[in-house]
C-alpha cells in the first residue's frame, strides 16, 4: 500500500504542484492519477520514488516513509515506465530489460535469460533480444519499457502516461494486454494519464487532480461517472458519461424479451400474433439468422421466404456490458439488441428503452 499523507509540493518559483494531497493506493490495485496538465499528477507519482521530494507531508510504502531509504536503492525496488519508453539507445533490447537486475548485481547470463522470458510475457518475439531500440516500432518499444519495469519483479510500479505516445489501435492493445498481465501479477500500480477514457478502463480507483495540485475526487470509476464531486470533474469526464456508465452495468442485468424470437419456419400469422414490428428468425439450434419486418408481410406464407434484414452484431449476455448491448441496438436494423449466450444461442432481445431502465435501476442503488 502506498499512502500519501498531506503531501504538498511548492517549487522554488512559487508554483504549487501538489496541495495537501492525502490518499491510499491499495495493494494489488491500479490507482490512476488523472487530470489537466499542471494538475500535479506526475509530481505526485514522482514523490513515491523520491524523484520529487515533498515540501511537506509524507509518502509511505507499507507504512514506512520513503525518505528512510536511499533514493537509488528505493528506486531499484519500484518499476518505472514513461511515455517515450526511455529506453537506452546504446543497449540491446535484452540488456535494456535487464537494467535493474544488472544494477542489483545479477549475472549477465541469468539476467538475459529472464529478459527473454519477460519479452514473451509482454508479447514480444524473443528473437528481437539482440536488436537496438531504434530498430523497434513505438508499440514494441513501449512493451520493452513494461518488461524492463517488471524485470526485478518489484511489488510497485509507477507508470507515467505509458501508452500515450502510440497510435489509438496500438494503445488499445497495450491497455488490454497490460490488464491481462496485471490480473496475473497483482502489482500495486500508480498510473498517470490525461485521458479519462484510459483512466476508466485501467483504474480500480481514480484520483482526479485539478490545476494547483488539488485532489478533487478519489473514487471507483463507476462512482466517478455516477456522482462527479463537482463541475470540474463532471466537465472533465465529459458529456457522454451517461453512456460510459453503461460499461459498468453487466448485460446479465438486462431484462430480455424473447416473444419476438421465432424459428424460421414459423408462419406470418405467428409473426403478427407477437404484436412486434420486427421478429428475429432463428435456425433449428435457436441461433440468430436475421430480422423480418412484420408490417411489410402481405401473404400468409412461411417466414422462411420473406425478405430479411441482416442481423447486425449481437452481445454476449454473460460477458458483455450494457454498453455493448446499446451499441448492438443502435446498429441493428430493428433497433433491438440481440443477446446470445456463450454458445451463440439467442436469449432474447432488448430495446434502448430497456437499457435506459437498467441504468435507472443501477443509479437507484
List contacts with another protein (CB under 8 A). 49, 51, 71-76, 78, 80, 82-92, 99-100, 103, 132-135, 148, 158
Q: Quick one: 97 or 174, whose CB is closer to another protein?
A: 97
Q: Quick one: 49 or 247, whose CB is closer to another protein?
A: 49
Question: In whole angstroms, what is the distance from residue 52 CA to residue 297 CA?
Answer: 72
Minimum distance from CB of 359 to another protein (Å)?
42
Q: Quick one: 11 or 88, whose CB is closer to another protein?
A: 88
Minimum distance from CB of 1 to another protein (Å)?
21
The Cα angle at residue 239 between residues 237 and 240, in degrees rounded to 5: 85
| HSE-CB of 57 using CA atoms within 13 angstroms | 22
Name the 3-class secondary structure at 315.
Answer: strand
Q: Quick one: 27 or 135, whose CB is closer to another protein?
A: 135
Q: Quick one: 133 or 203, whose CB is closer to another protein?
A: 133
Minimum distance from CB of 99 to another protein (Å)?
6
Minimum distance from CB of 259 to another protein (Å)?
59
Other residues' Cβ atoms within 10 Å of the Cβ of residue 356: 13
Whether residue 104 contacts residue 152, with contact meaning beta carbons closer than 8 Å, is answered with yes
Minimum distance from CB of 19 to another protein (Å)?
24
Q: Which residues pair with 156 in a beta bridge?
A: 78, 188
Q: Where are the alpha helices (DSSP H) in the chain?
A: 41-48, 71-76, 93-97, 99-103, 108-121, 138-150, 168-185, 196-202, 221-226, 231-237, 241-245, 268-273, 322-331, 352-364
Q: Quick one: 35 or 101, whose CB is closer to another protein?
A: 101
Minimum distance from CB of 131 to another protein (Å)?
9
Minimum distance from CB of 215 to another protein (Å)?
23
φ, ψ (nearest 5 deg) of residue 96: -60, -45
Other residues' Cβ atoms within 10 Å of the Cβ of residue 107: 11
Q: Quick one: 152 or 322, whose CB is closer to another protein?
A: 152
Whether residue 279 contacts residue 262, with contact meaning beta carbons closer than 8 Å, is answered with yes
Minimum distance from CB of 157 to another protein (Å)?
11
Whether residue 139 contacts residue 166, with contact meaning beta carbons closer than 8 Å, is answered with yes
Q: What is the DSSP code (8-state) at residue 332?
A: S
Q: Quick one: 87 or 306, whose CB is closer to another protein?
A: 87
Minimum distance from CB of 82 to another protein (Å)?
6
Minimum distance from CB of 165 to another protein (Å)?
10
Q: Quick one: 83 or 274, whose CB is closer to another protein?
A: 83
Question: In whole angstroms, what is the distance from residue 314 CA to residue 341 CA?
Answer: 10
Q: Quick one: 100 or 317, whose CB is closer to another protein?
A: 100
DSSP for 199-261? Answer: HHHH-SEEEEEETTTEEEEEE-HHHHHHS-SSHHHHHHH-TTHHHHHGGGSBGGGSPPB-TTE
Name the 3-class secondary structure at 15.
Answer: coil
Beta strands 346-350 and 278-282 are: unpaired
Question: In whole angstroms, what is the distance from residue 313 CA to residue 365 CA?
Answer: 30
Amino acid at each position: 500500500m502506498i499512502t500519501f499523507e498531506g503531501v504538498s509540493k511548492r517549487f522554488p518559483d512559487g508554483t504549487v504542484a501538489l496541495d495537501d494531497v492525502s490518499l491510499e493506493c491499495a495493494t494489488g490495485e491500479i490507482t490512476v492519477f488523472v487530470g489537466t496538465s499542471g494538475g500535479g499528477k506526475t509530481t505526485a507519482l514522482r514523490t513515491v520514488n523520491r524523484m520529487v521530494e515533498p515540501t511537506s507531508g509524507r509518502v509511505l510504502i507499507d507504512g514506512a516513509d520513503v525518505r528512510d531509504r536511499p533514493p537509488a536503492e528505493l528506486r531499484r525496488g519500484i518499476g518505472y515506465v514513461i511515455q517515450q519508453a526511455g529506453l537506452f539507445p546504446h543497449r540491446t533490447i535484452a540488456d535494456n530489460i535487464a537494467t535493474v537486475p544488472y544494477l542489483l548485481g545479477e549475472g549477465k547470463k541469468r539476467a538475459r535469460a529472464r529478459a527473454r522470458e519477460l519479452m514473451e510475457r509482454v508479447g514480444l518475439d524473443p528473437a528481437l533480444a539482440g536488436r537496438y531500440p531504434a530498430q523497434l516500432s513505438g508499440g514494441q518499444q513501449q512493451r520493452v519499457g513494461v518488461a524492463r519495469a517488471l524485470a526485478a519483479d518489484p511489488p510497485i510500479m509507477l507508470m507515467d502516461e505509458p501508452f500515450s505516445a502510440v497510435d489509438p489501435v496500438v494503445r488499445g492493445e497495450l491497455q488490454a494486454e497490460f490488464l491481462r498481465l496485471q490480473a496475473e501479477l497483482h502489482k500495486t500500480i500508480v498510473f498517470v494519464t490525461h485521458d479519462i477514457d484510459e483512466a476508466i478502463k485501467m483504474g480500480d480507483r481514480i484520483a482526479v487532480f485539478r490545476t494547483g495540485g488539488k485532489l478533487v475526487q478519489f473514487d471507483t470509476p463507476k462512482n466517478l461517472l455516477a456522482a462527479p464531486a463537482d463541475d470540474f470533474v463532471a466537465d472533465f469526464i465529459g458529456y457522454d458519461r451517461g453512456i460510459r456508465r453503461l460499461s459498468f452495468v453487466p448485460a446479465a442485468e438486462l431484462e430480455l424479451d424473447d416473444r419476438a424470437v421465432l424459428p424460421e419456419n414459423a408462419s406470418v400469422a405467428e409473426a403478427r400474433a407477437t404484436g412486434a414490428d420486427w421478429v428475429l428468425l432463428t435456425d433449428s439450434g435457436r441461433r440468430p439468422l436475421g430480422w423480418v419486418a412484420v408490417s411489410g408481410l402481405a401473404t400468409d406464407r412461411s417466414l422462411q421466404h420473406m425478405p430479411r434484414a441482416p442481423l447486425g452484431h449481437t452481445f454476449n449476455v454473460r460477458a458483455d456490458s450494457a454498453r455493448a448491448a446499446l451499441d448492438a441496438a443502435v446498429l441493428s436494423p430493428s433497433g433491438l439488441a440481440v443477446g446470445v449466450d456463450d454458445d451463440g444461442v439467442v436469449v432474447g432481445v432488448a430495446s434502448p428503452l430497456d437499457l435506459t431502465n437498467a441504468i435507472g435501476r443501477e443509479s437507484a442503488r
